[in-house]
Amino acid sequence: MSVEVHRRSDLTIDGMTCAACANRIQRKLGKLDAVSEARVNFANGRATVMHDDALDAGVLGAEVEALGYRVIDSGATEAAEARREADLRRRLVVGVALTVPAMAISMIPAFRFDGWVWVVAALTTPVVLWSGWLFHRAAAMNLRHGSTTMDTLVSMGSLSALVWSAVVLVGDLGDGHVYFETGAVIVTLILLGKWFELRAKRRSGDALRALADLGASTATLEDGTEIPLELVRTGQRFLVRPGEKVATDGVVVQGHAAVDASMVTGEPVPVEVGPGDEVIGATINTNGSLVVEATRVGSETALAQIIRLVDEAQGSRAEIQRLADRVSGVFVPLAILVSAVTLVAWLVWGDGVGDAFTAAVAVLIIACPCALGLATPLGIMVGTGRGAQLGLIIKGGEVLEDTRNVDVVVVDKTGTVTRGVMVVHEVLRGDLDDATLDRVHRLAASAEHRSEHPIARAVAASVDGEPLDVDEFRNEAGSGVVARVDGTSIRVGRRSHFGEVPAQLSAEAEAAEALGATVVFAGRAETAELAFVVHDEIKASSSDAVAAFHAEALDVILLTGDNSRTAAAVAAQVGIGTRAGDEVIAEVFPDGKVAVIERLQADGRRVAMVGDGINDAPALAQADLGIAIGTGTDVAIEASDLTVVSGDLRAVVDAIALSRRTLATIKGNLFWAFAYNAAAIPLAAFGVLNPMIAAGAMGLSSLFVVSNSLRLRGFRGSRHNDR
């Protein structure tokens, strides 16, 4: 049925042992009428459910617990993992302590004595039944619900070895071979793999936990009073002494200092700040003293939003995961069938019962798809976590795949290639007298006080004193503004915003534009009367970023609403145009930016769009990969797939490189997980691998996936190669 989605519920689930558990919970939740989408991530133990208001979150928890799992408070995740690790360790210690002597007695003839089989049975039975109880309980629970998981294979394999050996020992049946030590070794090796896997999974979440621990716990108010951070309110002022963390997001009102923001933005060099500059909570004041006025607190801070975005990304599912999910869903029943066929075939061919049983158990053990289930979610967890440490917020697994075929990067100019801090360097007056010049200048500056555009702020700041009263104000997107100021109509904007530009003023403007400046015209009617020459400094890192894009075989297109002369000058300075596919597209309105993206896509190009303003949001949403510069607006960030917390364009290169590296890691994980099972199951069926070797190989395959994913923690990026 059609579901109108109003709510999102996140559940933290304890007790999942493999990817098949996650798939079963996901199917169960997805069948509820009020649910439009359910995603369950085995790697982070999180379920994300989209549903309408008619469904209470408690119902979702009840459905999960009906399957035999527990829903716990998200804050209890760390404690639950610690308890699980301690329980695994206890069972593993018992398993090792009893299995090693049992193996020695069974495998080394010199250690055998009269009745040794009974001693081995006594040593291994607690291992199979108690140490392996986790697998048996999960298998029984799954069986009640008509499903099978990896635990089913482990339980069947170890219990089969124990029961068959007991029958042979007590009833003197079969060919006399017993496999007590096989069942114990299976349980012990898989417990060992599980223990290493759990520890590695906890390490994969270190990045997110480290982010959560970055924030300050207290704030010192102007009067010296120290209060808990949660009591800080917007508008309050607090002190930041040298070496202290900035308590929360705010604006500097007094003092100058160098602030180390590397833990949030990934930028290695401290940034000088002074009155009027914004600072981010959790960054560190390296020198000087600051008085900061809080602008965002609690869940609204940049750090809190980064944590939320990374947490959501780690719970997302990449398209490539669907293949693994489909395989996992049929793999266990198929493995049981292959095991049964193997047993029958060996018996029919006339081999001994013991050899037939050994081959069948080996198939069960080698087929455990644990590595397959971890391949994608663990790669996403480590990749997105590392990105967060570098100030790169990857919003989901789907984004990783969108970077695969990107072949062109479209970049906005203002605030992306340039600093976005505009300053009026000159006012072109044409043939105006001083009095008229002053009047039109003040009218234009007062009108621009209503606009948030960087150029408008520069024009507004070019006049001292309070702005004049604005009675009417209309923003014409991409062209300029029309306002009524102090009873006079005033128009400010680009050349096309006016019906006529006097020849002298036009010539002066063209000369300024040829040097790379932006020119904004103003007039009290359809005719422009003066013009503001506005300069925007190019970021020092932009030329390096363009070179890095080219090194990645990416064409770069500069897309801007600015005039063509200024755009061409900026492009030349940063190296856009040195590659055959580069292009400069200027004087484009916001809807025109979307049209450019659509044209490129129609030509078969895979487009990444980089922008920072509200006017970039539609293009970011249209692009195959939308990348927002984090110094920009919330609207742009929400519309993007990737967010670069810093304003350094080189970080965009890092974001694309990390996404590609993460996707390559996931593909490697899946390949080896598939290859392992494809190669090992036939070997087990033909008797080449015995159950003990199979159990060890199964554990090693999971450890390979984990260690391969953890290699992403070493990704550094172009901004950090010099450190």
**What is the predicted pLDDT for the residue at 639?**
52
Check the CA dihedral 576-582-586-591 and report its sign.
negative
Positive or negative, the CA dihedral 73, 74, 75, 81 is positive
For residue 45 the two structure tokens come to 């133990």
Q: Other CB atoms closer than 10 Å to residue 212's CB: what's the count?
A: 13
Phi, psi of 647 (to 5 degrees): -95, 10
Please name which of 126, 137, 131, 125 lies closest in space to residue 17, comparing C-alpha atoms.
137
- Indicate the pairing of strand 408-412 with strand 555-559: parallel
Contact (Cβ atoms closer than 8 angstroms) between residue 575 and residue 612 = no
Q: Is 412 a catalytic residue?
A: yes
Indicate the residue type of 248.
Answer: T
Amino acid at 8: R
| Cα–chain center distance at 361 | 40
Q: Which two tokens stand for residue 458?
A: 């520069």
Helices (H) and strands (E) in the chain, counts: 24, 26
Q: CA-CA distance, 332 to 670, in Å (whole number)? A: 17
Helix (H) or strand (E) holding 665: helix 650-685
- What's the burial of 346, exposed, middle or buried (CB within 10 Å: 0-12/13-18/19+)? buried
Place of tokens 């709510």: 7
Whether the Cβ atoms of residue 651 and residue 644 lie closer than 8 Å to each other: yes
Please give the structure tokens belonging to residue 464: 């001292």
Q: Which residue has the tokens 């914004």?
A: 278
300-325 burial by CB neighbour count: b if 16+ within 10 A, else e? ebbbbbbbebbbbbbbbbbebbeebb
| pLDDT for the residue numbered 60 | 86
- Whole-number Å distance between alpha carbons of 529 and 576: 34
pLDDT for 591 equals: 64
Contact status, residue 509 vs residue 476, Cβ threshold 8 Å? no
Question: Given the structure tokens 């669907």, which residue do they identify?
Answer: 322
Position 674: which residue type? F
3-state secondary structure 29-95: HHCCCCEEEEEEECCCCEEEEEECCCCCHHHHHHHHHHCCCEEECHHHHHHHHHHHHHHHHHHHHHH
3-state secondary structure 470-533: EEEEEEECCCEEEEEECCEEEEEECHHHCCECCHHHHHHHHHHHHCCCEEEEEECCCECCEEEE
Instruction: Scan for tokens 């080996």, then name that residue.
Output: 362
Q: Considering the entire predicted model, what is its pTM?
A: 0.57
Active-site residue among 412, 582, 612, 616? Answer: 412
Burial of 441-457, coded b for 16+ CB within 10 Å and e otherwise, reads bbbbbbbbbbbebbbbb
Q: Which two tokens stand for residue 649?
A: 């364009």
- For residue 696, the SS3 value is helix
Structure tokens at 339: 């095991």
Taking the chain (723 residues) in runs of 10, the rounded mean pLDDT of each run is 63 75 82 84 77 81 83 70 83 92 85 87 94 87 74 79 81 62 78 69 56 75 87 90 88 87 56 84 84 87 68 54 60 82 85 76 69 70 79 70 81 79 86 91 91 81 89 81 92 90 91 83 92 85 90 90 81 90 84 84 89 67 78 50 76 84 84 78 82 65 80 78 46
Nearest to residue 331, comparing CAs of 615, 678, 577? 678
DSSP 3-state assignment of 582?
coil
* CA distances for 404 relative to 166, 207, 485, 582, 650, angstroms: 55, 24, 52, 20, 19
Q: What is the DSSP letter of 245?
A: B
Whole-angstrom distance, CA of residue 238 vs CA of residue 300 = 18
List Cβ neighbours of 223 (8 Å cut-off, separation of 6 or more): none
Angle, alpha carbons 120-123-127 (nearest 5°): 125
Q: For residues 388 and 400, give the distance between their C-alpha atoms in angstroms, rounded to a whole number.
A: 14
Q: How far apart are the first and last CA of the chain?
A: 56
Q: Could you give the CA distance from residue 324 to residue 68 in angstroms, rounded to a whole number?
A: 24
Count the neighbouring beta carbons within 10 Å of the beta carbon of residue 721.
7
